[in-house]
Structure 1
Amino acid sequence: MTEQRKLLSTREAAEYCGFKLSYFRKLMMRRAIPMYKPTGKLCFFKKEDLDAFLTGVRISSQEEIAKEANRYMAGRK
């Protein structure tokens, strides 16, 4: 990828996300990942969109859940 180009190819985007190309293509077919198709054939991706996809669903740790439960129980007394 050149320094001037800000969009990633499908292969580059899959590598950036750490996915196998076949799995990344499945995500594309499900339209789970935002993409750009300027010619209607080739797909391109922005790193910002990929980062948002990768961090879209956060799962709390056991420690965070325990702290929230303690705060909730303290407020009920």
Structure 2
Amino acid sequence: MVVNSMSTKEVVELIKTRGFANTLEASIYLGKSIHYIRRLSRDKVLTSYKPNGKCIYFKIEDLDGFLLNNKRLTQENIAQKASNYLFKSRN
């Protein structure tokens, strides 16, 4: 495989250029094992595509969405949301 001889940086650039990744490339991009990527795909946690029912492919947008799906708010954001909630509940 060509991916094995490429650096992580080169693999990421390839994925961004193409717009999609296979399982091995997705595992490098996300920093997870191939087994874990396949499990995420099987459990429908990570959107995947299987043209002709064989190879699994992932869109770059889906991989980025997976990485950014659990946003943690700062204390300032939490305080702002709490004050907005309290203000709205009084009116």
Interval of TM-score (by shorter of Structure 1 and Structure 2):
0.7 to 0.9
Relative to its length, the structure with more helix (as a share) is: 2
C-alpha distance in 2 between matches for 1:18 and 1:30: 19
Q: Does 1:36 align with 2:54?
A: no
Residue matched to 1:8: 21
Percent of paired sites with the same residue: 38
Q: Does 1:67 align with 2:80?
A: yes
Give ranges in structure 2 of 5+ residues lacking alignment.
Answer: 1-10
SS of structure 2 residue aligned to 1:39: helix
Task: Name which of 29, 48, 51 aligns with 2:64.
Answer: 51
Give ranges in structure 1 of 5+ residues lacking alignment.
Answer: none
How large is the Cα RMSD of the aligned pairs? 2.6
C-alpha distance in 1 between matches for 2:47 and 2:35: 17
SS of structure 1 residue aligned to 2:53: coil
What one-letter code is carried by the residue in structure 2 that aligns with 1:26? R
